[in-house]
Amino acid sequence: MKAGSGRIRIIGGHLRNSRLDVPDLPGLRPTPERVRETLFNWLAPVLAGVRCLDLCAGTGALGIEALSRGAFAVQFVERDARAAQALRANLARLKAEGGHVIAGDAQAYLQGTAQPFGLVFLDPPFALDMWSALADRLEQGGWLAPSAWIYVESPRQAAPALPANWAPHREGVAGDVRYALYRRVS
């Protein structure tokens, strides 16, 4: 499958083996299946009933995977209108309850009224180098529950500056991608 087009599958939970339509858009880079499987194995003990924020959602694969595995609700934020529409269509087709899509810029969204989330997926477009700015806004703006989990996906060689109270929990590398799970320490 060409990156950024075609279909990807949900790998666990009640939506297991469901396919997501992925629009062919510049810079759209779905999280690889192997990485999602590892991440959700790490998150298995904390997913039930958690409120999630899928910031820079893209295909929404991370948030839909979380809904499939027992997350209470997922707020998807995606700036590309076509990607947001594809995400809405996938959620409707799968009858994935608890997902809400906001078509808008992540930085603008984080300027709004904060509501704390227990799990945040932070996987912005690599070319925009937004990790540090978004992480700071999440931390400073009241968007994170006291012991929130934060997943960060970045280029293998990048070391985004993250808040000092985000304690590394687990990390890995797949191809040119570094993925890491952090735990917020109050």
Q: Which string of DSSP letters, residue by residue, matches 146-177?
A: EEEEEEEEEETT------TTEEEEEEEEETTE
Per-residue pLDDT band for 32 (boundaries 50, 70, 90) equals confident
Asked if CATH classification 3.40.50.12370 holds for the domain at 6-184, the reply, yes or no, is no
Q: Please report, in angstroms and rounded to a whole number, the separation of the first and last CA atoms in the chain.
A: 42
User: Is the pLDDT at 31 greater than 90, yes or no?
Assistant: no
Is 124 exposed, middle or buried (CB count within 10 Å of its CB: 0-12, 13-18, 19+)?
buried
What share of the chain in percent tops pLDDT 70? Answer: 97
pLDDT of residue 5: 55
Q: What mean pLDDT is reported for the chain?
A: 92
pLDDT bucket at 27, cuts 50 / 70 / 90: confident
Q: Which residue has the tokens 């499939």?
A: 68
What pLDDT does residue 170 have? Answer: 96
Q: What is the DSSP string of 79-115?
A: S-HHHHHHHHHHHHHHT-TTEEEEES-HHHHTTS---
What is the rounded CA–CA span in Å between residue 97 and residue 93? 11
Mean of pLDDT values over 130-138: 95
Q: Are 180 and 171 in contact (CB under 8 A)?
A: yes
Residue 186 has pLDDT above 90, yes or no: no
Q: Where are the domains of the chain?
A: 6-184
pLDDT of residue 23: 84
Task: Report helix, strand or coil for 14.
Answer: helix
Residue 29 has pLDDT above 60, yes or no: yes
Q: What does the block give as tokens for 133?
A: 């700015």
What average pLDDT does range 104-128 have in this prediction?
93
| Residue pair 71/49 in contact by the 8 Å Cβ criterion | yes
Percent of the chain with pLDDT over 90: 81
Contact 166, 150 (CB under 8 A): yes
